[in-house]
Amino acid sequence: MSQEDPQADFWRGRRVFITGCTGFLGSWLTAALLERGAEVVGLVRLREPESQLVRTGLISRIEQVSGELLDYHLLRRTLVECRIDTVFHLAGQTIVGVANREPVETFETNIRGTWLLLEAARQTPSVRGIVVASSEKAYGEQLDLPYREEYPLQGRHPYEVSKSCADLIAQSFAHTYGQAIAVTRCSNLYGGGDLNWNRLIPGTIRSVLSGQRPIIRSDGSFRRDYLYVADAVLGYLMLAEHLTEPAVRGQPFNLGSGCPVSALELVQTIVAISGRPELEPIILNEVKHEIQDEYLSPQKASEAVGWRQQYSLARGLEEAMAWYRAYLN
């Protein structure tokens, strides 16, 4: 982690519970908390051998709780017995295509799983606060860009709806019961450890490192906001440190660059960094149920806790490519 959190000592000795700790973002966040001296308890549904947390061996430094997010009694027992101070709720079904094929499973995990965890935390006196991972997808399609936190949440398709609902449920618990909860709405995260090759950045990097032409499933014009995972981790930590403050408590926050690029521009940047200019992308133009343009205003997080993006897109992609090059070799 190349960024320094000015309140790093805040975490020393704190008991932290993370759902989704073995996921892409969860692995990075767990590593950052361990580096800062936190005592991490992680909910582990499946021990994926390719998880960054497993591959680095850091999973051996956390207390692992095996089980499901939908097991309320397990959640409650874990929070109480482990004397948890701060909760990061990252677990969920995160793949849009899977959500379209399996909407019920997505709704169960992303919506019911959220209210079960929040209720377990509400019943646990030691829990100081919770950071809940929502998504820019919670906004649905908006006419005015960039997306701002006061915009209505109007997801239409299963994944978007699941994030809109979980987001509102988290805010409901905060405003009804006085819980110190912050909601994060991140733009598209990227970085080492993301092995979902169907995503544009990992898939493109793997293609160019293999000497193959990258594939763009859309027409290439869709514009998105991309955020390096280290910047997202810093945002999570900073919000968690300020959870009890009025400017943060019960509030949603965008974490994004605010600088959208098209899919074609992104792929061309990756190709340029790889040094393989001959690898022209293949444009399939077959995407359905996708929003044309999505990007976030990060102004609120900047004003509330001083969070700002540290990595430019080029710098983040260079670090990511170095990670994938080592991994694939």
> Residue 51 sits in a domain of what CATH number?
3.40.50.720
Phi-psi map region of 282: left, alpha, beta (phi>0 left; psi -120 to 50 alpha): beta
Compute the average pLDDT of residues 216-241.
97
18 inside domain: yes
Per residue, the 3-state secondary structure of 238-284, as one string, reads HHHHCCCCCCCCCEEEEECCCCCEEHHHHHHHHHHHHCCCCCCCEEC
User: Count of domains in the chain?
Assistant: 1
95 inside domain: yes
308 inside domain: no
Compute the average pLDDT of residues 205-212.
96
Compute the average pLDDT of residues 100-105.
94
Q: Look at residue 7 in the predicted model and tell me its pLDDT.
A: 67
Q: Look at residue 97 in the predicted model and tell me its pLDDT.
A: 85
pTM: 0.95
Q: Which stretches does DSSP call E strand in 81-155?
A: 86-89, 129-133
Catalytic-residue membership of 151:
no
- Quick: pLDDT tens for 299-323: 999 999 999 999 999 999 999 999 9
214 inside domain: no
Compute the average pLDDT of residues 53-60.
96
Compute the average pLDDT of residues 211-219.
95
Q: Look at residue 246 in the predicted model and tell me its pLDDT.
A: 97
For residue 7, CA distances in Å to 85, 187, 217, 279 come to 16, 24, 42, 44
Helix and strand counts by DSSP (H, E) for the chain:
12, 13
Binned at pLDDT 50, 70 and 90, residue 8 comes out as: low
Does residue 3 carry a pLDDT above 90?
Answer: no
Does residue 134 carry a pLDDT above 70?
Answer: yes
Q: Look at residue 2 in the predicted model and tell me its pLDDT.
A: 40
Q: Look at residue 6 in the predicted model and tell me its pLDDT.
A: 54
Q: Look at residue 49 in the predicted model and tell me its pLDDT.
A: 87
209 inside domain: no
Mean predicted lDDT score pLDDT of the chain: 95
285 inside domain: no
The parent domain of residue 63 ranges over 14-189+226-255
Say what the alpha-carbon torsion angle 241, 246, 250, 251 is, to the nearest 10 degrees: -80
Give strand pairing partners of 261: 224
Does residue 294 carry a pLDDT above 50?
Answer: yes
Residue from 159, 226, 228, 324 carrying the catalytic annotation: 159
197 inside domain: no
312 inside domain: no
